[in-house]
Structure 1
C-alpha cells in the first residue's frame, strides 16, 4: 500500500502546478473569460519554464484548439494539457553547460564572443530559423552594449534555468 504522505505530496504538487498554470493563463486572459489569444500560448508555456520548439508548440495548439479555430484557446482545454507537460517535465530548457558548448561550436576563433552578424547568420540559416522579431529580441537581450557583441558566457548564465 502506498504511503499516505506520498499521496498528499503528489496531490499538493498537482495543486501547485495547476495554480501556476492558472496564474500564468490569467495574466493573458484580458477579457477575464477563461480564454486567451492563440498567439499568447507560446509566451504562457515559456513563462512556465518550458521551451518547446515552434513545431512542438504547433502540435500542442493542434491538440487544444477548437474544431473550428476561433483564434482563442479555452482554459479548460489548456489546463489538462499543460499540467501533463509540467508533471512529465517535458520541454525543459537546456542546462548551462550544454548552451555554452553550443555557443563554443559557433565561436570557431575561440574569442569568447559572437558578432551580431554571426548570430544573425546562424539563427536564420541553421535549424529552425528565428523570425526577425525573435532575432531582434534575442540581440536586444544578449548584445553587450559596450562592445556590440554577444559575450555568450555571460549570456548563457542569464539564460540557464536551474532545474528545481
Structure 2
C-alpha cells in the first residue's frame, strides 16, 4: 500500500469577477506606492507584496504562476490595468480563522495550543515578510496576553486578534442581506 499526500490547494482560481469601484481606489493607491519610477508600471517581483497588501494571501509557488499570468510577454513589469485584469480574472481564497489556526499549529511543537515566544519571534523575523524590531515589538504587545508570565502565545487568542474582520465581515454581510430582504430588494 503506497502512501500519498494531498497536494496543497491553490490560493486562487480562474474565475471571472467584477472588481468593485470602491476597491479600485484602494488598489490604485497601493499600485502608486510601488510605482517608484512614476512611469505607471511596477516591477513584476513586487506583485506578491501588492497582492498581500490587498489581503490576497498567496504562496511562493502561486506568486510565480501569477507573475507569469500578469507578464506573459516577459516585460519585467505590469501596469495598473494589468493588475485590475488579474484581479478580475482570478478569485482569491480568503483567509479564515481556521486557515490561520492551521498555520499557527505548524509552530505549535508541543501540540498544546501554545507557541513559545522565542519560536514565534524567530518565525516573524526570518520567514515570509520579515518584521523589523519595531514591528515585532508592536505585534508582540498584542500576541502576548498582559497576564502571561510563561511567554507562551495562545494560538486561538492570536488568531482572533489577527483576523477580527472575518466576524465583522460576516455580520455586515448578514446585516446587508437582512436589510435587502426587509426592503424587498431580493426576490424569493
TM over 0.5, shorter chain = yes
Alignment correspondent of 1:152: 155
Tell whether the 8 Å contact from 2:40 to 2:79 is kept in structure 1 after alignment. yes
Deviations 1:114-156 (A, max 9, x none): 12565589x7xxxxxx993537529923563975443323321
Which of 6, 9, 28 is the matching residue for 2:34?
28
Contact map agreement 2:105 2:111 (CA 8 A) in 1: no
Question: Separation in 1 of the partners of 2:70 and 2:51?
Answer: 13
Moved more, 18-27 or 147-156: 147-156
Partner SS for 1:26: helix
User: Between Structure 1 and Structure 2, which shows a larger proportion of helix residues?
Assistant: 1
The CA distance in 1 between the partners of 2:99 and 2:127, in whole Å, is 25
C-alpha deviation, 1:98, in angstroms: 4.2
Output the CA distance in 2 between the equivalents of 1:92 and 1:36: 24
- Structure 1 residue matching 2:20: 3-state secondary structure: helix
Choose the corresponding residue for 1:45, options 29, 44, 51: 51
The TM-score with structure 1 as length reference comes to 0.63
Pick aligned residue for 2:79 from 71, 74, 82: 74
| Distance (whole Å) between structure 2 residues aligned to residue 131 and residue 58 of structure 1 | 23
Answer whether contact 2:31 2:50 (CA < 8 A) is retained. yes
More deviation, 45-54/25-34 = 25-34
User: Could you tell me how far 1:75 is from its partner in structure 2?
Assistant: 2.2
Assess if the C-alpha contact under 8 Å between 1:18 and 1:83 holds in 2. no
Q: What is the DSSP-based 3-state SS (H/G/I as helix, E as strand, rest coil) of the residue aligned with 1:134?
A: coil
> Does residue 55 of structure 1 match 2:73?
no
> Structure 2 vs 1, CA of residues 38 and 98 (structure 1 numbering), >3 Å: closer, same or farther?
closer
**If you compute each CA radius of gyration, which structure gives the higher value, 1 or 2?**
2
Q: Matches of 1:37 and 1:103 in 2, distance apart? A: 31
SS in 2 for 1:41: helix
Q: CA RMSD in A?
A: 3.6
Residues paired across the two proteins, number: 141
Change (3 A) 1:115 1:73: same
Normalised TM-score (structure 2): 0.56
